[in-house]
Amino acid sequence: MNLFSSKVTFREIMVLTLYKLDASPPVRSVLMVIHAAKIPDVKYVDVNLFTGDHLKEEYLKLNPQHTIPMLTDDDFAIWDSHAIAAYLLTKYSNDKSLYPTDAKKRAVIDQRLHFDSGILFPSGRGALEPVLFKGEKAFRPEALEKIKSAYEFSEKFLTNTWMAGNDLTLADICCVSSISTLNEILPIDAKLYPQLTAWFERCKEQEFYKKGNEPGIEQIRGVLKSKLG
């Protein structure tokens, strides 16, 4: 179903709906949350950034920031992957383990989410944009240095099994969507980052990763192959 099809009105699809582009790391984090929490009956609408779907009037009325992902729940619209994920887990999941209510546990998870939005995701975007949109045939050295710094911080955070302690949480889901993308740009060196490597392998074993993240990673891999030659 396409939001912008002349045969479909917006009112007809105002149910729990995720507007997405699978290659996007933030989108993939929400897809993984949906699979991990087993949230049913979510409709999906693909938003083509390259043809400007996100800049059309109908989309801008809901999300003036014109970003993806965006979630609508009847007449409620929310964007930013972390906000969407927290909303879905709070409203639609009885399992609170991914985003526990304990203040200290949630504070650590939230810190990792801010690390994702402030360090992990921007370092990937900074590397990808010149290649995807400016025709550059190699990643800029300064962009690769930022990715290395992101890996170093992540390695230090992983003093336990998972990103925010001994339990798998929303922190792992959101961080792995970005780190799996960074790994396509600059593969993680297992000798330099053994804890990060082991964590990444644990994440890849999860069913939610296979369903919600791998298809988008395959898209990124294919695009980079065509762009970098």
Full pLDDT tens readout for the chain, 229 residues: 344 333 333 444 458 999 999 999 999 999 999 999 999 999 999 998 777 788 888 889 988 989 999 999 988 999 999 999 999 999 999 889 999 999 999 999 999 999 999 999 999 999 999 999 899 999 999 999 999 999 999 999 999 999 999 999 999 999 999 999 999 999 999 999 999 999 999 999 999 999 999 999 999 999 999 999 7
DSSP-derived letter for residue 216 is: H
Q: Considering the candidates 5, 24, 97, 177, report the single residue annotated as catalytic.
A: 24
What's residue 12's pLDDT?
A: 43
Domains of the chain: residue spans and CATH = 16-92 (3.40.30.10), 103-228 (1.20.1050.10)
SS (H, E, C) 126-193: HHHHHHHHCCCCCCCHHHHHHHHHHHHHHHHHCCCCECCECCCCHHHHHHHHHHHHHHHHCCCCCCCC
d(CA 163, CA 168): 8
* CB under 8 A, 24+ apart: contacts of 48-55: 48/21, 49/21, 53/3, 53/4
Give all strands (DSSP E) within 32-117, no chain letters.
Answer: 43-46, 70-73, 76-79
- Cβ(28)–Cβ(18) below 8 Å: no
Is 5 among the catalytic positions? Answer: no
The pair phi, psi for residue 97, each rounded to 5°, is: -70, -30
The pair phi, psi for residue 205, each rounded to 5°, is: -80, -15
d(CA 40, CA 100): 21
Give SS3 for 15: coil
- Cβ(213)–Cβ(176) below 8 Å: yes
SS (H, E, C) 16-32: CEEEECCCCHHHHHHHH
- Whether cis (ω within 30° of 0) applies to the bond prior to 130 is no
User: Structure pTM?
Assistant: 0.90
Angle, CA of 225, 125 and 38, to the nearest 5°: 90
